Structure 1
């Protein structure tokens, strides 16, 4: 074997997966067709959940100063994200190029083998692994598993024969980063008589613009659109002439919505845009892709190490397929609100009325922030089960820490909050995979989902697999389900 895992695609999903695998000690090769990073930045920020995930891995300081905001939207209708009570806001102006640079540096430091200028052309699967072929290479690469993180036009997905049903594109939109123009920021977009426009301003004076003209059918393109197309549409919709601006890069995208019917076929798995494409409403696509990889990484590592059976990989499909399905529902709903004409005004008005209700605001804010995800981990209906663990401030030994900091090694964590020797003894057969931490809570707000919890089992992705009290299953059953048989 050349590596245990080969990942195709060095975008955010592929690089995050490489880092997750290396944290678990799994050797990984990342193959990227482009000889160097493109510099394109389709995604420009992080949802609250991605901010939390990066905090769990200690990555946030690598991004430098991050401007965050509690202002969100659903289909252009404003939302207050502050109602969620997270320790983080949403990051609005981090270019995807920066995200890829940070994740690549992190993955390389951990020992990932990232090979640029290597174009994947096909694979063959057998009982022991996969043989991956590259353009111009004199031999195939061997690995136990192949993961396609190669985007919406994924070659891995097509060659492996994954079904990719969904809805066809009806509208084409333009995205461009430009210099030499001053525009008023419109982070949630603005409907005009003929379509939609959006503006984000980066700290270095660069402006991100998105523009879509209603009734513009998608064109078959072999390259990016010319800037004159973008500036002409902008002027028609806003009356503002930006033709003298300097375009840094330009792209076109559509409102097509598709999702694979399975995230795994044998030894081939998909993550990120290779598994789901949709209108990038609120930047959820890149963020969901990163979280796909965080869900998959520790599971694939456990199977490669032999501490768990391949059945654990089936949970990757079950958990992330449902997340992707709900993502397509909410982005299609937002597409109707953003791209629709006057006929959608009654819907916008009703939604605006509903958002006077705090529960509706919390529901939609959690949806677009990635905080509504709750996996079926079995064992009961306690509020925390299957949900992500919010940040807990802890006294641990002679130091202070947080529940997120404990997850930095990407191992399981059993939080013992009442110094329970019996609990620790029952977890002892799994301590090669799970860190048992006896700690006390500091400054925990009353009435929240953590109220009254005496212990909690956290998966490496930060989701809660077991709690006491609240779980019907006992601790060894939960440990065995998620971490394999004890020693």
Structure 2
């Protein structure tokens, strides 16, 4: 839904095919990390999606709390509490308001690529599209029909999750608990339903498709906890594993992949949802430019070039967390040592930057560029505003901080796609070129790299006279 909203913001009217007739209302994730929060802020959506926390936020790596996510956010949002189902509603409303057509109860069962379009099979009928983005989950029909390999490491952990009413709510410790038999994670609500998750390291699920019963979840919880865990009234029971898989390519012709269709992994740190949303922010403006016919050569391919390494790095850190989480007591000294290392500022910043994705950097060919532009406090002729506010329209932006008429004149040749904002702010560069996704494409501090070359690379040919 977020990708549809991003396309709509660019003036493209996408068609969304949703298999479910009505939203499920289920939320398997509820944490939006700092980079996602920053991106949403740059679209004016931050307040709508949930409750934002600034400053110090305690977080974990492999269930070991000790990270401070606020140490890497530079005063911006540290984390957002946002149930997945609610965020999806926010994005769906935004997409519809911007012209997206959302058809529910539409099941895609196949596709065929042609030179100029893709033919989808939807509810037994054929539908033509110029481009198709598969955001249809880990078992993506789009990915399989396009023949894109999905490779990585198989599961060895059996996880169960559900919302249950605990009959002895204080008999199980809340939060993350590791025992010699596995993990039990409880988000406790003594007066209602608690979210309970178990990680059993003995073997993966024999049948990933088998429905989960209350008895199975209770047996797993009692095995791991080593005590009775009476429960009743189950909701949203599910099973999953720790397979770490990634699509070999995020683009094959006119078919692209995003979210769980492109990468799946164990849910340490809630990184999966965030990585998928950042896929959408990266892809939206590029696919829109391709659809409008204004994209320079290679722009759409840069989606894979930029996001595939990010996804691979997430899978890598998640596999590391699972290895550290092994319940075997032989792993205890390693966890103790790792916990000590986490107290060092540099280690904290490294791990927090990785989990929150604020360390994401793209190779844009210009030294000092490629990171998300800081949310500068700007003083302009029209008043004060933050850089994030200037990006709400989803357009490219030349930020002139030093009265550089020469650079403003150059950017004006791309006026249909790039805005110019002149003002003052505390920054080392005279000017920055910021992409629609908020990342710096060019900085005047990079000697020998012309603004014109970066404008052509990311926005194509200048406007016709």
Fold in common (TM above 0.5): yes
Q: Check whether the contact 1:391–1:402 (CA below 8 A) recurs between aligned residues.
A: yes
Which range moves more in the overlay, 200-209 or 118-127? 200-209
How well do the aligned residues superpose, as a CA RMSD in angstroms? 2.0
The offset of 1:342, in angstroms, is 1.5
Give the unaligned 5+ runs of structure 2. Answer: none
Distance 1:362 1:456 in 2: 26
Does 1:114 find its partner at 2:96?
A: no
The CA deviation string for residues 86-115 of structure 1, in whole angstroms up to 9 with x for no partner, is: 411212x42211111111111111111111
Of 116, 122, 132, the residue aligned with 1:128 is 116
CA 1:204 to 1:331, structure 2 compared with 1: closer, same or farther past 3 Å? farther
Which range moves more in the overlay, 359-368 or 386-395? 386-395
Of 138, 158, 162, the residue aligned with 2:144 is 158
The CA deviation string for residues 416-456 of structure 1, in whole angstroms up to 9 with x for no partner, is: 11122111001111111111100212xx5xxxxxx412211
Where does residue 457 of structure 2 map in the other structure?
A: 481
Does 1:262 find its partner at 2:238?
A: no
Where does residue 293 of structure 1 map in the other structure?
A: 280
Of 44, 62, 68, the residue aligned with 2:30 is 44
Q: Check whether the contact 2:52–2:79 (CA below 8 A) recurs between aligned residues.
A: no
Where does residue 18 of structure 2 map in the other structure?
A: 32
Distance 2:42 2:192 in 1: 31
Does 1:72 find its partner at 2:48?
A: no
Of 332, 335, 348, the residue aligned with 2:319 is 332
The offset of 1:128, in angstroms, is 1.2
The offset of 1:73, in angstroms, is 1.2
Does 1:313 find its partner at 2:300?
A: yes
Where does residue 223 of structure 2 map in the other structure?
A: 236
The offset of 1:310, in angstroms, is 4.9
Distance 1:304 1:65 in 2: 35
Where does residue 432 of structure 1 map in the other structure?
A: 416
The offset of 1:408, in angstroms, is 1.0
Distance 2:195 2:53 in 1: 16
The offset of 1:179, in angstroms, is 4.0
Where does residue 76 of structure 2 map in the other structure?
A: 87
Does 1:456 find its partner at 2:429?
A: no
Q: Check whether the contact 1:45–1:90 (CA below 8 A) recurs between aligned residues.
A: yes
TM normalised by structure 1 equals 0.90
Of 19, 44, 47, the residue aligned with 1:61 is 47
CA 1:89 to 1:261, structure 2 compared with 1: closer, same or farther past 3 Å? same
Of 260, 268, 280, the residue aligned with 1:281 is 268
Distance 2:301 2:283 in 1: 10
Q: Check whether the contact 1:394–1:400 (CA below 8 A) recurs between aligned residues.
A: yes
Distance 1:148 1:370 in 2: 23
The offset of 1:471, in angstroms, is 5.1
Distance 1:217 1:426 in 2: 58
Matches within 5 A, 1:188-203: 189-201=176-188
CA 1:394 to 1:302, structure 2 compared with 1: closer, same or farther past 3 Å? same
SS at match of 2:131: strand
SS at match of 1:151: coil
Q: Check whether the contact 1:76–1:337 (CA below 8 A) recurs between aligned residues.
A: no
Q: Check whether the contact 1:376–1:386 (CA below 8 A) recurs between aligned residues.
A: yes
Where does residue 362 of structure 2 map in the other structure?
A: 375
The offset of 1:196, in angstroms, is 0.9
SS at match of 1:311: coil
SS at match of 1:308: coil
Distance 2:189 2:418 in 1: 41
Q: Check whether the contact 2:52–2:78 (CA below 8 A) recurs between aligned residues.
A: no
Which range moves more in the overlay, 215-224 or 425-434? 215-224
Distance 2:377 2:198 in 1: 43
Aligned length in residues: 458
Where does residue 10 of structure 1 map in the other structure?
A: none
The offset of 1:202, in angstroms, is 7.5
Where does residue 84 of structure 2 map in the other structure?
A: 96
Matches within 5 A, 1:175-194: 175-179=161-165, 182=169, 186-187=174-175, 189-194=176-181
Q: Check whether the contact 1:379–1:472 (CA below 8 A) recurs between aligned residues.
A: no
TM normalised by structure 2 equals 0.94
SS at match of 1:388: coil
Which range moves more in the overlay, 277-286 or 67-76? 67-76
Distance 2:381 2:419 in 1: 14
